[in-house]
Amino acid sequence: MAKEKIEIIASIETYENLSSFKSIEELNETVRAHAERHKDKLKKTHIAVLKVLHGHSAKHLGVSFLTKRNIGKLIGKSRATIIRACKHLEDLGIIKQLEMKRSSDMKQTSNAIIIQPIQKDEPVREINQIEQNTTQENSKMQHQENKTFLKQIHNIKHLNMSKETSKRKAYIKMVPKRLQQYQAFFGNQIKSLYGRIWLAMKNFGVSVDKMIMQEIAHIAFDKLVDYIKQGRNLSSEELHKLAYTIAYNQLSERDDTKAMASFVDSFIERTKNLKNQPCTTNNTESLYQYAERDLGGNVDY
């Protein structure tokens, strides 16, 4: 099976978007709660790895990007041992790992490792007591979660539905027709997810064709579906952050959008220079000529 393409570029903006904590105190309390909640399932190596990740997650709260080899050096363990330990922590829901690539050569780099927040409906101080007193109830909840996950997988398999089937779904306004099929998986969230695609374009600083934005939305939505297929239980907030990050990275990589961004920056710089010169007819004409030349003559004044 061919390895899936890595979509997320390692950058400061990416790490900040992936952070789920507002303060270092909240991060510290969450790590302590995870350790207490899973104390019967964590060995010394698991705890040592968690401490290293915690210690290197202060700059971008909850997000670190140490290589497995470097983590191993810090605690005196092999790279293979660290990979197994991180997999165990991820299975317990303590961390999440996302594959990243460098912006310089687009090749894979170290994973982003994200410490996961404690669910709001589980008060930190009562977690241990809840687990001891409600074993049967948790079993029922786990069964329900498994049924929900299986239903999500079923929906993924039917994303390429027929026209007759798609008509049964209510049409969501402000979402292009070609993207309505993702409603089978994301439901009404598809509207706000598509909004994040446009927000990425706005922050990138260019205005692109709607067809390009829909193409980028396809790529972002497909990647989110791939994450779910891999068994990652993403929250709504994480879905929206990833949609924005993937879209922004796509805009950064495309030749057409990079060219537009370069033109806009150049045009703004030329405008600033002209403001510092006496206002004459020749200056105004040269500005129009500059825009017309760089846009291939398709300028509507």
Give pTM, 2 decimals: 0.47
| Whole-number pLDDT of residue 156 | 54
Q: Are residues 64 and 144 in the same domain?
A: no
Q: Are residues 193 and 247 in the same domain?
A: yes
Residue 301 lies in a domain: no
Walk along the chain (301 residues) and give the pLDDT tens digit of each residue.
456 677 788 888 888 888 889 899 999 999 999 999 999 999 999 999 999 999 998 888 999 989 999 999 999 999 999 999 999 999 999 999 998 888 888 888 888 999 999 875 444 445 455 555 555 565 566 666 555 655 555 555 555 444 444 445 677 888 888 888 887 778 888 888 888 888 888 888 777 777 888 888 888 888 888 887 777 777 888 888 888 998 888 888 877 665 555 555 555 565 556 555 555 544 444 444 544 454 444 444 4
Domain CATH for 26: 1.10.10.10
The alpha carbon of 257 is separated from its chain's Cα centroid by a whole number of angstroms, namely: 20
Last residue of a domain, one of 85, 112, 133: 133
Q: Are residues 6 and 129 in the same domain?
A: yes
Last residue of a domain, one of 111, 133, 155: 133
Residue 75 lies in a domain: yes
Q: Phi, psi (5° rounding) for residue 114? A: -115, 120
Q: Are residues 10 and 110 in the same domain?
A: yes
Residue 245 lies in a domain: yes
Domain that holds residue 271: 257-294
Q: Are residues 115 and 25 in the same domain?
A: yes
Q: Are residues 157 and 84 in the same domain?
A: no
Q: Are residues 31 and 71 in the same domain?
A: yes
Q: Are residues 4 and 127 in the same domain?
A: yes
How far apart CA 14 and CA 63 sit, in angstroms, is 10
How far apart CA 230 and CA 96 sit, in angstroms, is 12
Q: What is the CA angle 9-224-220, rounded to 5?
A: 60
